[in-house]
Amino acid sequence: MSAYPVERAADEAGYPIKQGVFVAVAGPSGSGKDSLIAYARDRLGHLHNDIVFARRAITRPALPGTEEHDTLSKADFERARAAGRFALSWCANGLSYGLPASLDDEMRAGRVVVANVSRAVIPQLGERYAQVVPVIVTAPRNVLARRLSSRGRETMEEVLARLERSEAGTVPVPGAIVIDNSGSLEEAGNRFLEILRKAAAWSDTCDRV
Ligand SMILES: Nc1ncnc2c1ncn2[C@@H]1O[C@H](COP(=O)(O)OP(=O)(O)OP(=O)(O)O)[C@@H](O)[C@H]1O
Ligand SMILES: O=P(O)(O)OC[C@H]1O[C@H](OP(=O)(O)O)[C@H](O)[C@@H]1O
């Protein structure tokens, strides 16, 4: 068995990619990762062209009013993964998730890439990209429970499983920036926006040296 994830094998010699900044947004289900990403995306102003928001492939039907993603069947997902179409993939919550391999080109072009990822794959991101900014979004369990129930995307059983995972999925992420999203979306969203602005400035600096 290869020591590396399947996704790395396609271009082993070229990793880690030194350009670009990868902002990895993680944290328990319901903490508000997608909400913060959407908040910032709407307020980027002139940075809009420099920051790329990853579109995930998920083995879940697309639902109106939630994250826009590609939907693949399990079989198609596995085929895409085997063909090297994902920069990174993982399984969680009974689903498979993938980030498109085209993100490597965005990184090589020196852009800031923003993606919602599992906490567990942040170390793999560090193997693929030299500059990764992990952002962990948090909220207390009772807040997660309220938000997941009122979002209505999962059944009650699935909500309970996600709440269990909220702690079970916790892995140490050295150097992570933690955003407490237990208060207003505006407050946490502006903190996240500031992180993206800094990442864009950092990416510019790296381009020049
Ligand atoms: N600061 C906030 N105040 C009130 N409601 C919020 C806040 N942030 C997010 N929400 C709501 O909480 C719910 C969960 O948010 P969101 O879907 O962004 O979480 P997530 O971390 O992306 O979850 P998942 O990992 O399950 O996709 C949504 O209905 C969203 O509108
Ligand atoms: O618990 P961990 O492994 O950190 O995250 C698990 C996965 O679940 C959530 O996705 P979604 O809510 O199904 O869109 C996260 O975005 C992540 O991809």
**Domain contains 186:** yes
CATH number of the domain within which 91 lies: 3.40.50.300
Which range of residues forms the domain containing residue 75? 20-200
**Domain contains 206:** no
Which residue(s) pair with 148 in the sheet? none
The pLDDT, as a whole number, for residue 133 is 97
The larger pLDDT score, comparing residue 176 to residue 65, is at 176
**Domain contains 92:** yes
Ligand 2 site, residue 83, Cβ cutoff 6 A: no
Q: Is 90 exceeded by the pLDDT of residue 11?
A: no
DSSP letters, 153-185, are: SS-HHHHHHHHHHHHHT----TTPEEEE-SS-H
CA 117 to ligand 2: nearest atom = 18
> Residue 110 in 3-state DSSP?
coil
**Average pLDDT along the chain:** 90
Lowest mean pLDDT, pick from 9-13, 74-78, 170-174, 193-197 = 9-13
Tell me what percent of the residues of the chain surpass a pLDDT of 70: 90
**Domain contains 54:** yes
Domain count, the chain: 1
Query: Which ligand is closest to the CA of 189, given by its number?
Result: 1
Q: Is 70 exceeded by the pLDDT of residue 8?
A: no
